[in-house]
Amino acid sequence: MTERIVLAYSGGLDTSVAIGWIGEATGAEVIAVAVDVGQGGESLETIRQRALGCGAVEAYVADASDEFANEYCVPTLKANALYQGHYPLVSAISRPVIVKHLVKAAREFGATTVAHGCTGKGNDQVRFEVGIQTLGPDLKCIAPVRDLALTRDKAIAFAEEKGLPIETTKKNPYSIDQNVWGRAVETGYLEDIWNAPTKDIYDYTATPEFPPAPDEVTISFEAGVPVAIDGVKVTPLQAIKELNRRAGAQGVGRIDVVEDRLVGIKSREIYEAPGAMALITAHKHLEDITVEREQARFKATVGQRWAELVYDGQWFSPLKRSLDAFIEDTQKYVSGDIRMTLHGGQAIVNGRRSDTSLYDFSLATYDTGDTFDQSQAKGFIELWGMSAKVASGRDIRVAGK
């Protein structure tokens, strides 16, 4: 039986050419796998027909947009995950769901190898291959761009020679990846980190310098999951899409950062994540009133480590699963409403309410009705500072000798 290779297929030039390129280099049949994670653009059927037209023996297509929102975006939201304090893991969280479908397709079609279109200097090669090794340890991995010397100029020449049904003459200077959680742009003009981004690179967000009138929105959560926008029930996917639209119109969620890639280099990235950043902001403010202080402090550390693991391609790791369990436990009482104003590139919270809030007005107020016993504060301070006071006395005593 002829060997079969499953290819992660985007419908673009490189992966379209990779179908024939892999076939010629290995003699294997190629099954193209396209996964919709809310990236928009062409229909899955159009992409499927292009894959077949480029020589794939079969094309597996999956609408995973709800799956992506529920099982990947929501956990990221619950973790308030921002890699290096900035990046909401736009590409990093889409790779595991694609991997899941690649392995499923490999089993379905009897493939022994999985291929992806990543280069040898990015993070995605790690995310794909570590995920594949974990879910399908018997499967081999190849990367045509990295392993079979498929450069862009060779891809264009191959497509023209074979008459493939793919645009080859239009050259975009940027590398772009997008899904419903956000959009990532890199390379080209942006590789000089002194250069400011030009307006043409943005798509999910309008310029914040000249915003429309402020947009006030109320987001409702149940156990950390967004369930309504302005009182209208929504699924997580609908919540993300609606806030992409509304926050994007106000220029919310533009991120320009130089980040540390897993492979050891620094890379300048431009991200647009209006829905993600609005939701993370709202969720964090709701946690501020519903999560106990020490639990919240430790969760911030857990969330940071969670983001690093996911960025580094360890979505399916034992530690990630353990951190998931802790994060999920913290979400038990994260229910309520957050009101925020979207305007001029900012999402500013100006109201919060929850039936499970730890905020006690009678303890917090300085006016009549205050129930806080201030007489207890003096003794508390004496005990709280005792160890530092004793240590300071020792320091003074030893220094005087």
Radius of gyration of the chain (CA): 25
Tokens of 319: 């530690």
Catalytic residue among 63, 66, 146, 175: 175
- Would you say 27 is a known binding-site residue? no
Cα–Cα distance, 274 to 160 (Å, whole number): 38
147 is catalytic: no
- Would you say 16 is a known binding-site residue? yes
124 is catalytic: yes
What is each CA distance from 71 to 128, 174, 190, 219, 274, in whole angstroms? 18, 29, 32, 20, 19
Tokens of 359: 């905020």
Tokens 């897993």 belong to residue: 262
Q: Which residues contact 343 (CB under 8 A, 6 or more apart)?
A: 211, 213, 214, 215, 250
Catalytic residue among 14, 36, 312, 335: 14
- Would you say 9 is a known binding-site residue? yes
User: 4: helix, coil or strand?
Assistant: strand
95 is catalytic: yes
Instruction: Give the closest residue to 33 by CA, choosing from 48, 18, 43.
Output: 48
329 is catalytic: no
Distance of CA 375 to the CA centre of its chain: 48
- Would you say 286 is a known binding-site residue? no
- Would you say 256 is a known binding-site residue? no
- Would you say 330 is a known binding-site residue? no
- Would you say 271 is a known binding-site residue? yes
Catalytic residue among 4, 124, 254, 335: 124
Q: Which residues contact 78 (CB under 8 A, 6 or more apart)?
A: 224, 225, 283, 327, 328, 330, 331, 334
- Would you say 123 is a known binding-site residue? yes
Catalytic residue among 48, 95, 183, 254: 95
- Would you say 12 is a known binding-site residue? yes
**Cβ atoms 54, 19 nearer than 8 A:** yes
- Would you say 202 is a known binding-site residue? no
- Would you say 14 is a known binding-site residue? yes
- Would you say 11 is a known binding-site residue? yes
- Would you say 8 is a known binding-site residue? yes
Q: Please state the residue numbers annotated as binding site.
A: 8-16, 87, 117, 119, 123-124, 127, 175, 259, 271
Annotated binding-site members for ATP: 8-16, 117
Q: Which residues are catalytic?
A: 14, 95, 124, 175
Q: Which residues are annotated as a binding site for L-citrulline?
A: 87, 123, 127, 175, 259, 271
